[in-house]
Chain A
Amino acid sequence: MIDKFVASALEAVADVKDGMTVLIGGFGQVGTPNHLIEALCERGVCDLTVVSNNAGTGTHGLARLMAEGRVRKVICSYPRSRGSVVLEELYREGRIQLEVVPQGTMAERLRAAGAGIPAFWTPTGAGTQLGEGKEVRAFDGRACVLEHALKGDVALIEAWEADRWGNLTYRKSGRNFNPVMAMAAELTIVQAQHRVPLGALDPERIVTPGVFVDRVVHIPYGAPRLW
């Protein structure tokens, strides 16, 4: 019997090791797997590269992981948000590396990793500071830059419903980066609000098939914070 559920967030992240690249789903606080991130803090791993749209707010979740000095580098599109004080301080002090990537390029680099595409051309960023140092080629007269797939060792995902095969649904704007990150890592770990029996999810409604998921922990925490 396939059963991807584990008993705790700590057990779910047991194989995350120092130096790994960790993809973290969510946009703002919605769809962000904060309990899995907190479990990484508890485990005490360090030297991580984190890929996430935002770079943490307040002192919880990703902000805590960074404040504890566990993150070597952040790859994100929008590090500055309301309350992103930890990142700004670490960056100012030169204690964290930051790679800013256009949001759509980040999504597509992740998609490429999950889909077996090593690199792709995009007009996004061509001729700008974020395109500097990248290969450039014109298509139909338009300059494009070469972008490479962005693969994770681990993905931390938040879902709405999950069954024991790891089939997932999402809630409203909580979908965001979660499905694409679930496909882009060697080990995909999910925290789900609702645990449902196998067969209970309408197959037409499953957004992430369980083939992309390795572990699930049931964490019915309620609604996300606003920030």
Chain B
Amino acid sequence: MDTAVDVKPLDRHGMARRLAADIPEGWVVNLGIGIPTLVSDHVPPEREVIFQSENGVIGVGPAPASEDEDLWLINAGKQLVTLRPGGSFVSQSDSFALIRGGHLDLCVLGAFEVAENGDIANWAVSSNEKAPAVGGAMDLAAGAKRLWAIMEHTTKDGRPRLVRRCSYPLTALGVVSRVYTNLAVLDVTPEGFVVREMVPGLTPEALQARTEAKLRFAA
């Protein structure tokens, strides 16, 4: 580890803020549970992005003030949300028609692992897990026009999560096009991971040391 340099990894909101900066106005976006959900907090309301939730909410707005809480209005993470003007409600089957039918510009998912071929593992940590819960992750990963993963670069004990091949059960194959971590932004290309950005002070060697897959660095 590079202890000599003062490297500050992004925190969860920092990662969400960095990803949010890359979402243009007009996109239809689904945010997964966890860090992805924070992304909408960092898209300014005047940049109109349509957030969609699997349970049939199109145009999800921010969390309500306590006096405005409405128990009939939740997102896929079962948190209370609001509906933006222009928003609408659809059934689960129409919601997933939207998701699978190529009408989502972007899905942002958390992940346990992303492989250099774009495979993502984000729903189960082993094949004999108790009561594994997949939710809509496989449909989102298979159906969105773009899939961006947002995750810590390594596990808490320092194990790389950007890998050659996923070891956890797969969510979908070859679908991730970009990864935002607490240390870097990487594209997934036919040649593997290409690093677009790193946090200040981090060297390519230090990033590679925390990554199992071979990294390339954009010019």
A and B assemble together: yes
A134 contacts chain B at the CB level, 8 A cutoff: no
Contact in complex: B124, A129 (CB < 8 Å) = yes
Contact in complex: A80, B93 (CB < 8 Å) = no
Contact in complex: A180, B93 (CB < 8 Å) = yes
Q: Which of A101, A125, A130, A176 contacts B55 (CB 8 A)?
A: A176
Chain A residues contacting B71 (CB-CB under 8 Å) are 30, 223-226
A29 to chain B, nearest CB (A): 8
- Bound CA–CA A129/B127 (angstroms): 8
B73 contacts chain A at the CB level, 8 A cutoff: yes
Contact in complex: A173, B74 (CB < 8 Å) = yes
A144 to chain B, nearest CB (A): 9
Contact in complex: B138, A110 (CB < 8 Å) = no
Contact in complex: B138, A130 (CB < 8 Å) = yes
Contact in complex: A224, B93 (CB < 8 Å) = no
In chain B, positions 75-115 with a C-beta closer than 8 Å to chain A are 75-76, 78, 80, 83, 89-93, 95-96, 99-100
B105-137: CB near A (< 8 Å → 1, else 0) gives: 000000000000000000010010011111111
In the complex, residue of chain B having the shortest beta-carbon distance to the beta carbon of A110: B93
Chain B residues contacting A77 (CB-CB under 8 Å) are 133-136
Contact in complex: A175, B135 (CB < 8 Å) = no
Chain B residues in the interface with A (C-beta under 8 A): 53-57, 70-76, 78, 80, 83, 89-93, 95-96, 99-100, 124, 127, 130-140, 142-143, 169-173
In the complex, residue of chain B having the shortest beta-carbon distance to the beta carbon of A102: B138
23 contacts across the A-B interface (CB closer than 8 A): A27-B55, A27-B76, A27-B92, A55-B131, A79-B132, A80-B133, A102-B134, A103-B54, A103-B134, A104-B54, A105-B138, A105-B139, A108-B96, A108-B100, A123-B143, A124-B100, A124-B138, A124-B142, A125-B142, A177-B91, A179-B91, A180-B91, A223-B72
In the complex, residue of chain B having the shortest beta-carbon distance to the beta carbon of A143: B173
A107 contacts chain B at the CB level, 8 A cutoff: yes
- Bound CA–CA A107/B101 (angstroms): 14
Which of the 9-residue segments A34-42, A62-70, A86-94 touches chain B?
A: A86-94
Chain B residues contacting A129 (CB-CB under 8 Å) are 124, 127, 169-170
- Bound CA–CA A19/B215 (angstroms): 55
- Bound CA–CA A77/B78 (angstroms): 14
Chain A residues contacting B142 (CB-CB under 8 Å) are 122-126
Contact in complex: B135, A173 (CB < 8 Å) = no
Q: Which of B57, B90, B133, B171 contacts A78 (CB 8 A)?
A: B133
A81 contacts chain B at the CB level, 8 A cutoff: yes
Contact in complex: B100, A30 (CB < 8 Å) = no
In chain A, positions 126-184 with a C-beta closer than 8 Å to chain B are 126-130, 170-180
Chain A residues contacting B93 (CB-CB under 8 Å) are 107-108, 110-111, 179-180
In the complex, residue of chain B having the shortest beta-carbon distance to the beta carbon of A178: B91
- Bound CA–CA A28/B135 (angstroms): 12
From A55, A84, A124, A126, residue with most partner B Cβ within 10 Å = A124
Chain A residues contacting B92 (CB-CB under 8 Å) are 27, 53, 103, 107, 175-177, 180
Contact in complex: B80, A103 (CB < 8 Å) = no
- Bound CA–CA A29/B74 (angstroms): 10
